[in-house]
Amino acid sequence: MLTLLSSLALAGPATSTIVLAGDAGLGLPEWVPEERAEALERDRCLRSDEDPVAAKARALVGAAQSGWVLWLGDNVYPSGLEAVDDQLGGCHPGTRTYGEQVLQRQLDAGLRAEHVVFVPGNHDWNHQGPGAGEELRVERQRTWIEEHGAIAAGYREGAVWHADIGAHLRLIAFDSQPAVSQPNATAAPLAALDAEVGSAGGRLVVLASHHPLESDGEHANRSLGGYWPMDRFAIFRADMAHPDYAAWREQLRARVSKWQAAGASVLLVSGHEHSLQYVERAGVRQLVAGSTVRRDRVYPADDARYVASEYGFAALNEDDAGAVWLDLYTFDCGEVWPCGADAVTLARRVELSAASPTP
């Protein structure tokens, strides 16, 4: 049974760790100094040995008995893994060579991990969904991931993947882009999610997909703030106020409420927003970790636990005593190049328990 951490000092060494990071699909992250980026672009994309996220991820998973790295979608910008190779070399978005370099950097972050898992995002679908002619993009990415020994979770339409990690965690992953694109055709994944959550027993369910249910970031409708025109939220399906996204959120929120009423403990983990957030709202516990390579504005609500426009990622941990906690990491390389794990700072630790937040 999961136990609440009464003190951070009481947490033992992590026996299981899942590094949670998303939206890493830029060949040259925005935090790379401009003059370095220009030089690199002519030669190659950023490597994992120059990436503080990868360096810290390897350290965290290497220290645990069971270490995992989970990439939360938008794994290749701007439009997923292309079919055509790049004859120019270098780091040029929109080519096969570019996409493979970007995926390899993410894969290498898990060199000391038991498993590396990818879920797709809207950019991996070229912002489309099933039936729009972009399925081959997702299939190409799935094939590359599996051929390189990693797990492509939810890449087949309607598929739901799970793994039990350590003694207290069940990781469930699925592709949310079809649901956001076609919210009236979600019966199959929702039924599969019911089964996976229902059989989790006393484990904390970590439900991973690209699109968050709750957010205080740019894609949330509270981000109007005079910064975006009102009609943006009716036009772009990636934004929460779009009718399709709103319909999916309503369906998922009802499901989470149903699961928790039946005794399940659920933590949702997502990317999509280029920020680092932990929100407990309306009975939902939501981590957003989508700022590994770029960051956007945030609009924290009064009840926000942690919302920051910082480069960062998260790690979910458990110990032998059954304590479970979430660490939120930020980093700032400044003008230092390359920067490594020493640029990463623990910004917040969140104690988790089997109990769900009060609606």
CATH number at residue 139: 3.60.21.10
Cβ atoms of 287 and 350 within 8 Å: the answer is no
CA distance 311 to 294: 7
Q: How far is residue 81 from each of residues 43, 84, 119, 157, 333, measured CA to CA in Å?
A: 20, 9, 14, 18, 28
Cβ atoms of 176 and 210 within 8 Å: the answer is yes
Asked whether residue 329 is assigned to any structural domain, the reply reads yes
Asked whether residue 326 is assigned to any structural domain, the reply reads yes
pLDDT > 70 in the chain, percent: 90
Asked whether residue 75 is assigned to any structural domain, the reply reads yes
Helix (H) / strand (E) element for 128: namely none
331 confidence band (pLDDT: 50, 70, 90): very high
Tokens 């009481």, residue located: 10
Asked whether residue 7 is assigned to any structural domain, the reply reads no
pLDDT value of residue 232: 47
Print burial letters for 232-267: b (CB count within 10 Å at least 16), e (below 16): bbeeebbbbbbeebbbbbebbeebbbebbeeebbbb
- Our CA dihedral for 269, 283, 278, 161, rounded to 10 degrees, sits at -10
Question: Which amino acid makes up residue 14?
Answer: A
pTM of the prediction? 0.93
Task: Summarize the confidence of residues 15-27 as an average pLDDT.
Answer: 97
User: 48 CB contacts (<8 Å, ≥6 apart)?
Assistant: 54, 55, 104, 105, 108, 109, 111
* Range with lowest mean pLDDT among 101-105, 233-237, 264-268: 233-237
Asked whether residue 91 is assigned to any structural domain, the reply reads yes
Asked whether residue 116 is assigned to any structural domain, the reply reads yes
User: 191 CB contacts (<8 Å, ≥6 apart)?
Assistant: none
CA distance 293 to 53: 9
CA angle 308, 314, 315 (to 5 degrees): 155
**Host domain of residue 114:** 13-352
Selection from 139, 143, 71, 160 nearest residue 110 by Cα: 71
Average pLDDT, the chain: 89
Asked whether residue 6 is assigned to any structural domain, the reply reads no
Q: What is the pLDDT of residues 225-235, one digit of tens each?
A: 444 444 444 56
Residue 193 pLDDT > 70, yes or no? yes
DSSP strand pairing (324-331 vs 312-318): antiparallel
Asked whether residue 100 is assigned to any structural domain, the reply reads yes
Residue 119: both structure tokens together: 């879920």
Selection from 265, 260, 290 nearest residue 277 by Cα: 290
pLDDT value of residue 145: 98
Cβ atoms of 308 and 298 within 8 Å: the answer is yes
3-state secondary structure of 346: strand
pLDDT value of residue 359: 64
pLDDT value of residue 11: 61
pLDDT > 90 in the chain, percent: 69
Q: What is the largest CA-CA distance in the chain?
A: 57
pLDDT value of residue 354: 61
Q: What is the pLDDT of residues 47-84, one digit of tens each?
A: 999 999 999 999 999 999 999 999 999 999 999 999 98
Q: How many domains does the chain have?
A: 1
Task: Summarize the confidence of residues 277-293 as an average pLDDT.
Answer: 96
Q: What is the pLDDT of residues 196-225, one digit of tens each?
A: 999 999 999 999 999 999 999 888 855 444
